Amino acid sequence: MSDIFSDLSSMGLTGLSGVKIFEDEDEKKKSAKKENEAVVVQLNEADFLFDKKVQCPVCDKEFKTKTVKTGKPRLIGSDPDLRPKYQGIDSVKYDVIVCPHCGYGALSRFFSYMTTHQAKLIHENVTANFKGLTETGDTYTYDEAIARYKLALLNTIVKKAKISERAYTCLKIAWLYRGKGEQLTGSEPDYKQQKEMCVKAEQEMLTNAYEGFVMCVSKELFPICGMDETTLDYLMANLAKQIGRNDEALRLVSKILTAPTANAKIKDRARDLKDSMKK
């Protein structure tokens, strides 16, 4: 190809000998893809986290807690019971905040809500016996996360939190046991026992979550834990199915499918749940 742009050198525009008038777009895309692939960096779980400063509403002391960076991990889907799944990290592990000074813990959405009476109950029943948290690394293991969540669950009981908060905490503990079971590789010497333990513990927590949500729908106003009535009905239907209460699951599915306020997406998920029970 002749150097058709050589005449522009007098204008200061040089180095144009390789410029094509009609560049092959397919080749251009392939080249760009290769460049992007070359700069892809494999992220570790710790890369999705940062230390967030928090003030405890019980003892007023400040501390740092590991928090997932907003928008950093990529959502790749969710389980039928709404457990979110992100690439490279299980965000559920980091959705509980525990004060290392007094032992108060709660899901992040509930952590700051505290009455004087509740703080007194926690001081008397948790702080008085609390000996501190075990040091962790840059991330939480599933066992560390489960222990933190169980401390938060204990706090919901001590402070007489809403039934929905207790149920939601149980649900997330169930998700943690599921996550722990999923990451077992089979190379562990006690793999079978660990797997069975995870399944049994998950079922127990799913049952607690379901029973708690059943109780709270007649006592609390919506939204409940950020969910409208239809979403909670769907979640409860899924939980009922998982713990073997199929009649109740089908009743809730029918309620969703006939609800005029239910959107198309939740109705589709309800139909999928109904189909899975038929199979």
Report pLDDT digits (tens) over 146-199. 999 999 999 999 999 999 999 999 999 999 999 999 999 988 889 999 999 999
Residue 38 pLDDT > 80, yes or no?
no
Q: How far is CA 136 from CA 48, 49, 82, in A?
A: 16, 14, 28
pTM of the model: 0.84
Q: Which residues pair with 77 in a beta bridge?
A: 85
What's the confidence (pLDDT) of residue 231? 97
Average pLDDT, the chain: 90
Instruction: State the Cα–Cα distance between residues 85 and 90, nearest whole angstrom.
Output: 7
Helix 142-158, helix 116-125: angle, nearest 10: 120
Instruction: State the Cα–Cα distance between residues 168 and 177, nearest whole angstrom.
Output: 15
Mean of pLDDT values over 65-82: 96
What's the confidence (pLDDT) of residue 89? 97
- Residue 210: closest CA among 246, 177, 156, 178: 246
Handedness of CA 105, 135, 55, 174 (dihedral sign): negative
